[in-house]
Amino acid sequence: MAKTSLSVLKRERQTARRRLRNVKRRKQLRASLKQIRATEDKEAAGKLLPEVQSVIDKSARNNIIHRNTARRLKSRLAKQVAKQG
């Protein structure tokens, strides 16, 4: 078995930490999207919309999703909330 350098071991530790952080952020994003899509009441959805948009923006800023994907999600959610009645 080949010897492993210290830099390789450090890189593995960093990658593991980042992967866990990204998984947590992705789960938070999916949960918030699921929550607002399941909301039937227009007022409740309207109050929830800014919070969900914030989660989407944070996900885009942290490269969990692409910035254009974030814009598309926010636009579609806003349309959905406006259409509820």
Q: What is the rounded CA–CA span in Å between residue 62 and residue 50?
A: 18
Query: Under a CB-based contact definition with an 8 Å cutoff, are residues 45 and 19 in contact?
Result: no
Query: Under a CB-based contact definition with an 8 Å cutoff, are residues 58 and 85 in contact?
Result: no
Question: pLDDT (tens digit, 9 = 90+) per residue, 10-54?
Answer: 999 999 999 999 999 999 999 999 999 999 999 999 999 999 999
Q: What is the C-alpha end-to-end distance of the chain, expressed in Å?
A: 66
pLDDT of residue 2: 66
**pTM to 2 decimals?**
0.85
Q: What is the rounded CA–CA span in Å between residue 9 and residue 56?
A: 33
Single-letter code of the amino acid located at 33? L
User: What are the domain boundaries of the chain?
Assistant: 28-83
Where does the pLDDT of residue 67 fall: very low under 50, low under 70, confident under 90, or very high at 90 and above?
very high
Q: Please say if the pLDDT value at position 85 is more than 80.
A: no
Single-letter code of the amino acid located at 75? S
